[in-house]
Amino acid sequence: MEYLKKYPKLFQWLFLLIVFFALCFAIDVPETYKFIRGQAEFVKDPNQSVYFFLGKEVRYYAFDVFWRLPPLLGWLPIWINDSLFFLMNEWMPMEFWNEDTQEFKTRPLLLEISRNLTSFMTFLIELIREILLGGLETIVAFTSWDFIDAYPWLELPGLPWTIVAAGAALLSYKLSGKGLALFAGLTMIYISIFGQWKPSMQTLSFILVAAPLSFIFGLGLGIAAYKSKRVEKALYPILLVMQTMPQYAVLVPALVLFGVGDHAAVIITMVVAVPPMILLTILGLRAIPPEVIEAGRMSGCTNWQLMFKVLIPTARRDILIGVNQVIMVCFSMAVISAFIGAKGLGFNLLLALNQLNIGLALEAGLCISLIAILLDKMSLAWANKQTDYFGNLTFFQRNKNAIFFAASFVIGIILAYVGTFIFKGSFNYLFEIPHNKGISTADFWNKGVDWIFDTFFVYIKAFNTWLIQDVLQPMRALYLRMPAVATLVLAVGAGYLIGGVRSALVVAALTLFIALSPWWDRALVTLYMATFGVVISCLIGFTVGTLCFQNKKSAAFMLGVCDIFQTFPSFVYLIPVMMLFGITDTSVLIAVIVYATIPATRYTIEGLRSVPVGLHEAATMSGVNKFQRLTKIEFPLAFPHMMLGLNQTIVFALFMVIIGAFIGTEDLGQYILKALSDKNGAGIGLTLGICVAFIGLIFDNLIRTWVGKRKKHLGIA
Amino acid sequence: MSETVIKCESVYKIFGENAKKMLEESNGNVDAKTFQERGCIVGVNNASFEVAKGEMLVVMGLSGSGKSTLLRCISRLTDATGGKIFIEGQDLLELNNKELIELRRNKMGMVFQSFALLPHKTVVENIAFPLQIKGTNTEESISRAMEMVKLVGLDGRENYFPRELSGGQQQRVGIARSLAVEPDIWFLDEPFSALDPLIRKEMQDEFLRLQEKLQKTIMFITHDFDEALKLADRIAIMKDGIIEQLDTPANIVLNPATEYVRKFTEEVPREKVLIIEDVMDASSKDNLGDLKVSKDEIIENVAEKILTQEKLVGVVDLNNNIVGSIKPSKIIDTVFGGRKNGS
């Protein structure tokens, strides 16, 4: 009884677990359940029940409601599909002038808008692409094919790679200094020599279109949300869902609305890249000291002047950090968009992975990683760069970077011209090294992979078999054995114990959505893979983080490593694991673990670092040893921040599990992948994405609520 | 006295959702406690006063006393919940946005505790900012700003960024910026509170020098009673949003209106605050000794001289007419006596 009074929470939790397990044992697996394991959504089956809702027919296997809830939301994907179809093809038909046929034509409004948007995007991408690589589409867009036939010299020539490399190095120098300039130059040379120039520039042109547009929209919406509480309230849930939504899932609706290709990818990239920009804009504007705003107003600023002359320049750093985020999201989308036909590095990577040509995939992956690091470092350097006074400098000093660029421009052209004489009859290596005509190390890597397989095959296979048979499958069976009602009770109970009625309601709503969707089983499989990854990631991350924290240098080094690894698009992680473990669940799980360990490690180090120096000194003066200091002072204080790390770890793990579907897992991601090639896939893809986002949000809500309370309790909020 | 520049008539500022309604119901009798129970916080409670042209009114109070809120009501950075505020006869609360901006651009300058400089602009650009906002062309605004740079003694640093300056220097920029448009009314919100004691003293002296030259109408906020005594023509002491006493420094020290005010005055070295006129006896002008002192002298400066006298010391005004006398023992009374019985 005394214990009960001393630790009331502990007993509440114990009680919750007892109820959960009691429910698990009380509710039997129904006979019919083995059918559903192989269920296919739209196949007619005599055993299926049918219900109608909003005129939509939904089929499902009838069940004991305690075991699995009926798919009452089964109509949602179908309804989304039909609505999209209706909007695109039937809604608001209007007369539009058709330039080609010179007559009016009736078309649905949304289709016309989508077409116009699409062609505008295509034009932008082509323009930048042709500046970098050359071509004639841009000229044609202003004139006609006949015109270009008459004046063939009008074709844009494209920039020699030397100029782009020099430009990148100079820009890096201006932003950061010699180190980054060197890195930029070497990266560009590597890309060029290894024959990845064309796809790299295609990817780059994609980013050059998507990032500025995302920036403008994000900044605009961020300002609107800062100005008006109502806008912020409306945006907030969308931002929340978009943060945990797998990027993969939004590709499917894009396919329906905008078709296949770069333009669709750019538009959908904006959808993904705008939310972080909005968040950071709001954050930056909120962080401005109120006195600066008052100073602006007392100077007699109008609202407009206040925003553009005082607020935005003052929030410059946060806004530029937003730009950094936008660029990184755009880059990672540029890779994933290969699934809906965006050209560039991602497309090559996808192709190589499909052919199981690990060597080629590795080369493309390395290119992607290098460019990702370069873009990240450059945009961060821009954010951290402070304005300098240059009025007292000479003309040359002020414009030296521009002058150097002009010089390298001329030199690059001369070199390219000279190149035409040197490389007669073959490719002009000083102008542009074509794809796959550079040096390739693919064979070397492929042989290496073969060697690894030949040599270690027995061990790898043994490990693989052991992991799958003795760990993963039992775990998976356990997860699937949970009756829906028991899971609901557990989730809602946890919500109530952590955050009271409010949290319980939020968690209940999110869980119910998933439980009522037709994919509860898949969600459980996703959850099991994510849990496995998260547990191992946290074990590794917390240990490594704690160890590295013992020494200032190793801590800084580890944070640097985390920074670099975090810039890689998640897709890249699949290459090395496929190399070693082939196409199995093990590969995905290892990729999940590697990817999710990053935030676990980072937050551990950051959390431990944030313990105030005064406390350290107080502890040292009380005569604690290192271990005591760690367990009695640092861990308790750093724990809330480490839990935020856990939150990130879960999101990262979910993302990776979903992408892992590409190499064949059985979870929600698999269905998203299927939806990509289904003509009715838009609704399914979107609903699946929301399901994944909700899994993330359930944990996000619980962890954040707990952390908030704990921080308040510790007085470090 | 000369014309009134700032005039407040029962100004209230109450934070909270139903503030306006509750204020109307209360009929001017605002009790902070009952308001707090209903979710409102009283910032300024029935403030009425006038500031004359060229006068420096120092508002003194501890943190949370509502002094900054009062200043922000008068600069209309927040809207007062009730009452009337007149700036040179214009009803401030009736101004529309455009008129308000016009007023701020031409009549008002404000200095902030945390300097509130724009991080992306140099010293001279910061100072020129209000001018450029107003629409003055670049050349003129920069040359005007350069004058200001010289005025606050920052020549040679005009192209530095705020991040490269010390706190004292940053506040000089803040002061220069607030003066750039040559405002008639100058608001200073704890301008020296964030500075080191030594720098603070230096800046106070500098500030007095400037005011001597410029003769602005000033509202100066501080939580430092000594600072208030040193600078003020008149001091308003605030507590819980209420102005406890508004008077000249000498009167506040000699006749504190409330217990709260008395606590502040206890530790004040009177000889540094009071002038001869405050303690002289105006009725007896006979039997004077040889020593004559001016009525505007601070006691501290003449105490030694007076204390060596045995006879009454004559007090004279600017034209050397005798206006009163002072006993040497009165000085001792003033310096040591007053504190114990708290008169």
Mean pLDDT of B207-227: 90
- If asked whether residues A321 and A374 sit together in one domain, one would say yes
Choose one of B248, B270, B292: the last residue of a domain: B270
Residue B118 lies in a domain: yes
User: What is the reported pLDDT for B268?
Assistant: 81
- If asked whether residues A138 and A224 sit together in one domain, one would say no
- If asked whether residues A135 and A248 sit together in one domain, one would say no
Ranked by mean pLDDT, the top range of A310-319, B301-310, B311-320 is A310-319
| Residue the block writes with tokens 């690589």 | A133
- Which residue range(s) make up the domain with A614? 523-714
What is the predicted ipTM? Answer: 0.85
- If asked whether residues B251 and B289 sit together in one domain, one would say no
* Chain A residues with CB-CB distance to B120 below 8 A: 313-314, 316, 387
CATH number at residue B278: 3.90.1280.20
Tell me whether residues A299 and B163 touch, CB distance under 8 A: no
Of chain A, the end-to-end C-alpha distance in Å amounts to 34
User: What is the reported pLDDT for A39?
Assistant: 47
Mean pLDDT of A24-37: 72
- If asked whether residues B64 and B170 sit together in one domain, one would say yes
Residue B169 lies in a domain: yes
pLDDT in tens, A573-604: 888 888 777 777 788 888 999 999 999 999 99
- Compute the distance between CA of residue A694 and CA of residue A688 in angstroms, rounded to an integer: 10
Residue B20 lies in a domain: no
CATH number at residue B201: 3.40.50.300
Nearest to B265 by CA among B188, B334, B190: B334
List residues bridging with B225 in a β-sheet: none
Give the residue with greater pLDDT, A269 vs A5: A269
Give the residue with greater pLDDT, A51 vs B10: B10
User: What is the reported pLDDT for A495?
Assistant: 92
- If asked whether residues A225 and A122 sit together in one domain, one would say no
- If asked whether residues A583 and A641 sit together in one domain, one would say yes
Choose one of B249, B270, B291: the last residue of a domain: B270
Residue A485 lies in a domain: no
- If asked whether residues B182 and B291 sit together in one domain, one would say no
* Residue from B120, B139, B164, B190 to probe the interface with A (highest A Cβ count within 10 Å): B120
Choose one of A386, A406, A426: the last residue of a domain: A386
Asked if A697 and A528 count as a contact pair (C-beta separation under 8 A), the reply is: no
Identify the closest residue of chain A to B75 by CA–CA distance.
A298
- If asked whether residues B296 and B280 sit together in one domain, one would say yes
pLDDT in tens, A532-570: 999 999 999 999 999 998 888 999 999 999 988 888 888
Count of the separate structural domains present in chain A: 3
Give the A:B interface size as CB pairs under 8 Å.
73
Choose one of B207, B239, B270: the last residue of a domain: B270
- If asked whether residues B174 and B305 sit together in one domain, one would say no
- If asked whether residues A80 and A144 sit together in one domain, one would say yes
CATH number at residue A323: 1.10.3720.10
- If asked whether residues B221 and B285 sit together in one domain, one would say no
- If asked whether residues A199 and A320 sit together in one domain, one would say yes
- If asked whether residues B239 and B279 sit together in one domain, one would say no
Angle at B118 between CA B114 and CA B122, to 5 degrees: 115
Residue B39 lies in a domain: no
Distance between B102 CA and the closest CA of chain A, angstroms:
7
- Compute the distance between CA of residue A306 and CA of residue B138 in angstroms, rounded to an integer: 18
Residue B284 lies in a domain: yes
Judge whether residue B175 has pLDDT over 50: yes
What's the Cα-to-Cα distance from A411 to each of A311, A404, A407, A416, rounded to whole Å? 43, 10, 6, 8
* Residue B133, number of CB atoms within 10 A of its CB: 22
| DSSP letter for each residue of A622-648 | TT--HHHIIIIIIHHHHHHHHHHHHHH
- Compute the distance between CA of residue A514 and CA of residue A585 in angstroms, rounded to an integer: 23
Residue B298 lies in a domain: yes
Identify the closest residue of chain A to B106 by CA–CA distance.
A300
User: What is the reported pLDDT for B34?
Assistant: 82
- If asked whether residues B276 and B260 sit together in one domain, one would say no
Of chain B, the end-to-end C-alpha distance in Å amounts to 29
- Which residue range(s) make up the domain with B235? 54-84+91-270
Distance between A553 CA and the closest CA of chain B, angstroms:
28
Structural tokens at position B191: 């301008």
- If asked whether residues B119 and B62 sit together in one domain, one would say yes
- If asked whether residues A150 and A199 sit together in one domain, one would say no
- If asked whether residues B285 and B146 sit together in one domain, one would say no
- Compute the distance between CA of residue B270 and CA of residue B264 in angstroms, rounded to an integer: 12
- If asked whether residues B172 and B78 sit together in one domain, one would say yes
Distance between B204 CA and the closest CA of chain A, angstroms:
21
From chain B residues 100-159, the ones with a CB under 8 A of any chain A CB are: 101-102, 104-106, 108-110, 112-122, 129-130, 133-134, 159
Residue B187 lies in a domain: yes
- If asked whether residues A114 and A221 sit together in one domain, one would say no
- If asked whether residues B171 and B212 sit together in one domain, one would say yes
The b-or-e profile of A495-514 (16+ CB within 10 A means b, else e) is bbbbbeeebbebbbebbbeb
What value does the CA radius of gyration of chain A take, rounded to a whole number of Å? 28
Count of the separate structural domains present in chain B: 2
Residue A88 lies in a domain: yes
What's the Cα-to-Cα distance from A147 to each of A140, A150, A151, A155, B82, rounded to whole Å? 8, 5, 6, 11, 73
